[in-house]
Amino acid sequence: MRWQTLLKNSITTPAALGSRFGFDSGPLRAVAERYPMRINPYYLNLIREKGDPFWLQAVPDEQELHDMVCMPDPLGEEHLSPVPNLIHKYPDRALFLVHSQCAMYCRFCTRKRKVGTGDMVITRETIDAGLDYLRKTPEVRDVLVSGGDPLLLSDERLESILKSLRRIPSIEIIRIGTRAPCTLPMRVTTRLATMLKRYHPLYINTHFNHPDEITPEAALACSRLANAGIPLGCQTVLLRGVNDDPRIIKRLMHGLLRIRVKPYYIFQGDMTEGTDHFRTPINKGLAIMKSLIGHTSGMAVPKFAVDAPGGGGKIPLQPDYVHHLGANLVFSNFRGDICSYQDAGARGQVTGDRG
Ligand code: SF4
């Protein structure tokens, strides 16, 4: 089935879900009125039972209306936008939002305040204003095209944006952030991949959260992109009840490498209003990182980071292996063995210390 047809056949109301899975969907109506719902037939077919990892990511939950300790715009994006839908937070790169919709509305989305709603207004005019800003801001050498999901644009519309970006001499790197290879892999047609390869150096960061999302369809989508010479990375979010388990994360990291996607980041959940029930303690993330580092290939170990509230940017978080930092570094390795390392140029000092 064509991806456009799949999208059109999405479930967008709790009532439709209730009749399929046989539950009282009434309490979810208010949730879907506040935060939009879309589950396309491909992702719907991944759901095996109520409460499984696919269900939790896709199906509205009453807790979204009650856990209000967080913020609608946790990363302060609206204050970092010189023009609507362009966020210029870091010195040499910018985030350019070119589409307001997604193939599925993830319940944990950082931009759930606006993605898929009438509050996210993206028009030709806003895209032109973004391009104009990038033309006048030559310090930006790397643009992340995102949304919503840019792959929900037609090939032609996406190509016209990429072409305009490529005409800006200061832009060296174009990245696309998309969850389509995971949530609607049929979107990645050979036609799309052939178009994208005209705009190198082009990178794609996709987003898988659970190893069972790596289906044959997702693998085919990623192989089409990789065969077009596009380096693929994955950004995963730690989600309570979905993937906050070292065995699940290790399976995910290995599965990603098998489909030629390099694990790039694991993110601590943002403090997004309506998503508090997904957040996990930072110590859990550190323990997961400790279960990866040294226990599997470095290729399978992404960076763990928290995106600082208010627009502070990504802060890397690392398990602590160091016991003493001086001329003689004392640390433990992944097995917990104590090791030491004598710093360069510290020989005399260390000898002196020993008397
Ligand atoms: S695909 Fe990304 S932008 Fe869209 S709802 Fe999911 S997390 Fe948000």
Task: Dump pLDDT digits (tens) for 162-175.
Answer: 999 999 999 999 99
CA-based torsion, 203, 134, 316, 67: positive or negative? negative
3-state secondary structure of 225: helix
What value does the mean pLDDT of the chain take?
A: 95
- Indicate if 174 and 285 belong to the same structural domain: yes
Sheet of 328-332: strand order equals 322-324, 328-332, 338-342
Atom 1 of ligand 1: nearest residue by CA position: 179
Strand duo 142-147 + 86-87: pairing: unpaired
For residues 240 and 332, membership in a common domain is answered with no
Chain mean position to CA 116:
17
Q: Place 191 in a pLDDT band, splitting at 50, 70 and 90.
A: very high
349 and 283 within one domain: no
Give yes or no for a contact between 121 and 84, defined as CB atoms under 8 angstroms apart: yes
- Taking the model in full, what pTM does it have? 0.94
DSSP-derived secondary structure for 18-67: HHHHTS--GGGHHHHHHS---B-HHHHHH--STTSHHHHHHS--GGGGT-
Question: Which CATH number covers residue 256?
Answer: 3.20.20.70
Per-residue pLDDT, averaged over 301-330, amounts to 94
Residues 107 and 128 both lie in one domain: yes
Q: Is position 298 within any domain? A: yes
Query: From ligand 1's centre to the CA of 335, what distance in Å?
Result: 37
Please report the pLDDT score of residue 347 as a whole number.
Answer: 65
Q: Is 103 in the pocket of ligand 1 (CB under 6 A)?
A: no
For residue 267 and ligand 1, the question of a CB distance below 6 A is answered with: no
Residue 339's domain spans which residues?
322-353
Does residue 17 lie within any of the structural domains? no
For a mutational test of ligand 1's pocket, the pick from 105, 209, 237, i.e. the residue with the most ligand atoms closer than 8 A to its C-beta, is 105
Determine which residue's CA is closest to atom 7 belonging to ligand 1: 109
User: Which residue has the least CA distance to atom 8 on ligand 1?
Assistant: 109
* CA 102 to ligand 1: nearest atom: 4
Residue 60 falls within a domain, yes or no?
no
Q: Report pLDDT digits (tens) over 8-66.
A: 999 999 999 988 898 999 999 999 999 999 999 999 999 999 999 999 999 999 999 99
Say how many domains are in the chain.
2
Same domain flag for 251 and 162: yes
For ligand 1, whether the C-beta of 111 sits within 6 Å is yes
Same domain membership, residue 348 and residue 216: no
H or E element that contains 308: strand 303-308
Whether residue 169 is contained in a domain is answered as yes
Report yes or no: 229 and 174 within 8 Å, Cβ to Cβ.
Answer: no
Instruction: Please give the structure tokens belonging to residue 111.
Output: 């931009």
Query: Which residue among 98, 105, 109 has the greatest number of ligand 1 atoms within 8 angstroms of its CB, and so is best to mutate?
Result: 109
CA of 11 to the centre of ligand 1 (A): 16
- What is the C-alpha to C-alpha distance for residues 289 and 283, in angstroms, rounded to an integer? 10
- Does residue 334 share a domain with residue 195? no
The pLDDT assigned to 67 comes to 78
Does an H or E element contain 226, and which?
helix 216-227
Residues 73 and 138 in one domain: yes
Residues 242 and 330 in one domain: no
Is 34 within the bounds of a domain? Answer: no
Same domain, 327 and 238: no
Judge whether 13 lies within some domain: no
Contact yes or no for 329/346 (Cβ under 8 A): no
Give pLDDT tens digits for 66-106. Answer: 977 889 999 999 999 999 999 999 999 999 999 999 999 99
Percent of the chain with pLDDT over 90: 91
Mutate to test the pocket of ligand 1, among 95, 106, 187 (most ligand atoms within 8 A of CB): 106
Q: Model confidence over 253-276: pLDDT tens digits?
A: 999 999 999 999 999 999 999 999
Burial of 44 (0-12, 13-18, 19+ CB in 10 A): buried
230 lines ligand 1 (CB under 6 A): no
Q: Is residue 343 situated within a structural domain?
A: yes
User: Within 13 Å of residue 106, how many CA atoms lie on the same side as its CB?
Assistant: 26
123 and 262 inside one domain: yes
97 CB less than 6 Å from ligand 1?
no
Three-class DSSP labels, 178-195: CCHHHHCHHHCCHHHHHH
Least confident of 34-48, 56-70, 177-191, 237-251: 56-70
Residue 183 lies in a domain: yes
Q: What is the pLDDT of residue 353?
A: 44
- 246 with 333, same domain: the answer is no
